[in-house]
Copies of this chain bind each other. A is one copy, B any other.
Amino acid sequence: MIIIDYKDRRPIYEQIIERFQDLIVKGVLKPDSQLPSVRNLAMELSINPNTIQRAYMELERQGFIYSVKGRGSFVSFNEELLSLKQKEVMEKLQKAVEAAKGVQIPEEEVQKSVKRIYRGEEMK
């Protein structure tokens, strides 16, 4: 369910955060369903519980999950969060397009690339 890429330059906890955000936004993890416990996930990924803890903390702060002492952590997703996430993604995309424009990549190529991805099967 969660895969850690040690070659990735980003810290582990960030990879975990992003992965869960994805799973929640895409509806794979349903609202109020329980996440793996901090200790279990740590064991499964063979990393330190503190690292998981930190990821969960951040996810809770961002509103993706909520944690209850003694019970566990649960998905807490809503529409607002989705549109927030969409806005965030759009901003990144616009920066990328601007960069493409900046290095003289023709608009047609960008458009083609967008089409290819949307038509294609890539679901990441």
Residue of B nearest to A51 (CB): B70
Is the beta-carbon distance between A89 and B100 smaller than 8 angstroms? yes
Is the beta-carbon distance between A98 and B124 smaller than 8 angstroms? yes
Count residues of chain A with CB under 8 A from any CB of chain B.
45
**Assembled-state Cα–Cα distance A99/B93 (Å):** 9
Residues of A55-71 at the interface with B, using a CB-CB cut-off of 8 Å, are 61, 66, 68-71
Q: Given the complex, which residues of B lie within 8 Å of A123, measured CB to CB? A: 101-102
Is the beta-carbon distance between A110 and B86 smaller than 8 angstroms? no
Q: Given the complex, which residues of B lie within 8 Å of A111, measured CB to CB? A: 111, 114
B66, B94, B107: the one contacting A6 at CB < 8 Å is B66
Closest-CB distance, A11 to chain B (whole angstroms): 6
Q: Given the complex, which residues of B lie within 8 Å of A39, measured CB to CB? A: none
A interface, CB within 8 angstroms of B: 6-7, 11, 22, 25-26, 61, 66, 68-71, 74, 76, 82, 85-86, 89-90, 92-105, 107, 109-111, 113-115, 117-118, 122-124
